[in-house]
Amino acid sequence: MSTTARAQKAPDTRGPVRKLLTSFGFQILAALVLGIAAGLIGRQLGATAENPNGLSATLDTIGNSYVTLLRAAVVPLIFTAIVASISNLRRVQNAARLAGQTILWFAFTAFIAVIIGIVLGLVIQPGSRAGEGLETGEPYTVGTWWNFLLGLIPQNFLGLTVSTSPGEADGTFSSSVGFNILQVIVVAAVIGIAALKSGKKAEPFLVFTESLLKVIQRVLWWIIRIAPLGTFGLIGSAVIKYGWEKLASLGWFAAAVYIGLALVLFVVYPILVRTHGLSIKQYFSGVWPAVQLAFVSRSSIGTLPLTERVTERNLGVPRSYASFAVPLGATTKMDGCAAIYPAIAAIFVAQFFGIELNFVQYLLIVIVSVVGSAATAGTTGAVVMLTLTLSTLGLPLEGVGLLLAIDPILDMGRTAVNVAGQALIPTIVAKREGILNEELYNAPREGLPFADDSGDDDAPEADATSDKEPVGAR
C-alpha cells in the first residue's frame, strides 16, 4: 500500500520576523513573559488576592473567560469523542489487542511515575522542610473509593448536577449547574458500546456523532487559537494571587513535584521513545504545541483536540487508532496528576503531621495511582485524586488544604506531563504494532498543527487494519 504525502502547498514567502511573530509557540512564550510582567506590576501597585485593583481584575477576567470557553466545550467534546472513539474500533483489526496494549502501557508509565514520586518524597523530605505559618484551607471536594464508585452511577443522562448555597452577605440562596465528568464518561461509553453492538442500524447515529465531533473540534480550534490571550491573563492573575510568598512556604514541596515532572517528561519519556527506535527530537517537536496549551489551560480535556491532532499529524499515529487512544488517555492517563503529585503530596502530609508510613501504605500509594487515575477525569486540578489517596492511607484530609495555595502553579506542570504521555503511548503502541507512519513522524514540522487544511476531510487516513505500510495521515 503506497504512502500518500501531504498535499503540496505554496512556498512560504514570509520573512523570518513574520514567521517568528506568527509562530504559535512564540506567541505562547511571549504571552507567558508579558503575563508575568503584568502580574509583577500589579503586585507593585498593591494588588493581592484579597485587595484587587483594576489591572488584577482585568487579568483575572481575561484568564477566567478563556477557561470558561474551554469548559463550555468539555461535556459535548467528551461525549462525542468517547462515542466516536469506541465506534471507530469497528474499523480496526485487532481492536481488542490495541486497546489492551494501550491500557497496559498507561499502567506501566503510571507505575514508573509513582515510584519516582515516592523516591523524591523520601529523599527531599518536603513535609519536614515546610515553611512556617501554613494556612489550612478547606478541600472543595473529597474523594473516597466508595464515593468514587457511587459517582460512576449516572444520576441523569447528562451527568447534570445542581448545587444550591446561601449567600454570605444577604442570606439569599443561589444555584449553580455543573456536570459530573465521570458520569458523562460512563454514559458515553455505554452508548458507544451499545451503538457498536447494534450494527448497521446504528450507522446513522454514529455518522451524526462523528460529524458533531468535527464541528465541536472546529470550535475548539478557534478557542485554542486565542490561547496566547488566555495565557497572558492566567499567568498574570496567578502571579498576583499567589505571589512568591506562598510558593516559598511550600518551596521544597513545589521543587519535589517539578523535579518529578521533569524526570518523567525529559528522562522517562525520551528513554521509551529511543527504546522503540524513534527520534526524541521529533517526538518533542511533534507534541510540544499540545504540551504548551496544556500548561496554560490546565485541562487535558480542553487540550484533547490539539493532542489528537498532533498525535495524528505530527507523530504519525493512524487516525482510526488515535481517535480511540487519545480520548481514552485524556480521561485516564494522568502521570502528573494521578501518579507523581499524589505520591509526593501523601508523603508530604505524613511528614508534616509526623506520621510514619509503612511498606503496605507505600504499596497502596502505587495501587491507588495506577488504578485510580480515572478519578481525575481530565479536568483541572488533582484534589479528588489526592483526597482519594489520603483517605485510602488513613492520613488527615486537612493536609489537602495546606497545598491548595499553590495548586494552580503545580497544576500547570502536571497537566503538561499528562498530555505528553497521552500522545506518547499511542505512538509507542502504533510503533510496536507496525502501524506507525514513520515517514510522517520524521517529517519536518510545518505550520500550526490545528490549522485548517483544504481537503482535510478527504485526505486518506492511515489504515490500522493493514499489515503493510500505513497510508499517510492528514
Q: Alpha-carbon distance 97 to 91, whole Å?
A: 14
The predicted structure's pLDDT at residue 141: 45
The predicted structure's pLDDT at residue 445: 78
Give 449's pLDDT tier (boundaries 50, 70, 90). low
The mean pLDDT value for 61-73 works out to 80
Q: Is 50 exceeded by the pLDDT of residue 463?
A: no
C-alpha cell at 463: 489504515
At 394, the amino acid letter reads G
C-alpha cell at 398: 486537612
Give 151's pLDDT tier (boundaries 50, 70, 90). low
Tell me if 311 sits within 8 A of 220, measured CB to CB: no
Residue corresponding to grid cell 488576592: 49
Tell me if 262 sits within 8 A of 66, measured CB to CB: no
Taking alpha carbons only, the member of 311, 316, 76 closest to residue 211 is 76
pLDDT digits (tens, 9 = 90+) for 251-307: 889 899 999 999 999 999 999 999 999 999 999 999 998 998 888 777 787 788 889
The predicted structure's pLDDT at residue 1: 37
pLDDT digits (tens, 9 = 90+) for 415-435: 999 999 999 999 999 999 999
Tell me if 300 sits within 8 A of 422, measured CB to CB: yes
The mean pLDDT value for 396-424 works out to 83
The mean pLDDT value for 315-340 works out to 85
Give 166's pLDDT tier (boundaries 50, 70, 90). low
The mean pLDDT value for 349-373 works out to 84
The mean pLDDT value for 197-201 works out to 86
The predicted structure's pLDDT at residue 137: 45
Specify whether the backbone of 379 is left (phi greater than 0), alpha (psi in -120 to 50) or beta.
beta
The predicted structure's pLDDT at residue 162: 60
Which of 96-110, 147-161, 288-302, 379-393 is modeled with the greatest confidence?
96-110
Q: Is 80 exceeded by the pLDDT of residue 336?
A: yes
**CA distances for 299 relative to 74, 158, 324, 332, 447, angstroms:** 10, 20, 19, 13, 24
**CA distances for 197 relative to 7, 192, 201, 244, 293, angstroms:** 37, 9, 10, 55, 36
The mean pLDDT value for 227-241 works out to 81
Q: Which residue has the higher pLDDT, 122 or 449?
A: 122
Which is it for strands 173-179 and 160-166: parallel, antiparallel or unpaired?
Answer: antiparallel
The mean pLDDT value for 396-418 works out to 80
Phi, psi of 160 (to 5 degrees): -80, 135
The mean pLDDT value for 164-177 works out to 58
The predicted structure's pLDDT at residue 177: 57
Q: Alpha-carbon distance 473 to 319, whole Å?
A: 7
Q: Is the pTM of this model over 0.75?
A: no
The predicted structure's pLDDT at residue 467: 34
The predicted structure's pLDDT at residue 164: 61
Q: Which residue has the higher pLDDT, 268 or 379?
A: 268
The predicted structure's pLDDT at residue 163: 61
The predicted structure's pLDDT at residue 165: 61
The mean pLDDT value for 211-235 works out to 82
Q: Is 90 exceeded by the pLDDT of residue 119?
A: yes
Q: Is 70 exceeded by the pLDDT of residue 459?
A: no
Give 458's pLDDT tier (boundaries 50, 70, 90). very low
Tell me if 124 sits within 8 A of 255, measured CB to CB: yes
The predicted structure's pLDDT at residue 57: 87
Tell me if 102 sits within 8 A of 325, measured CB to CB: yes
Average pLDDT, the chain: 77
Q: Which residue has the higher pLDDT, 224 or 138?
A: 224
The predicted structure's pLDDT at residue 5: 42
The predicted structure's pLDDT at residue 161: 63
Q: Is 80 exceeded by the pLDDT of residue 72?
A: no
Q: Alpha-carbon distance 90 to 14, whole Å?
A: 44
DSSP-assigned letters across all residues of 40-72: HHHHHTT--SSS--HHHHHHHHHHHHHHHHHHH
Give 45's pLDDT tier (boundaries 50, 70, 90). confident
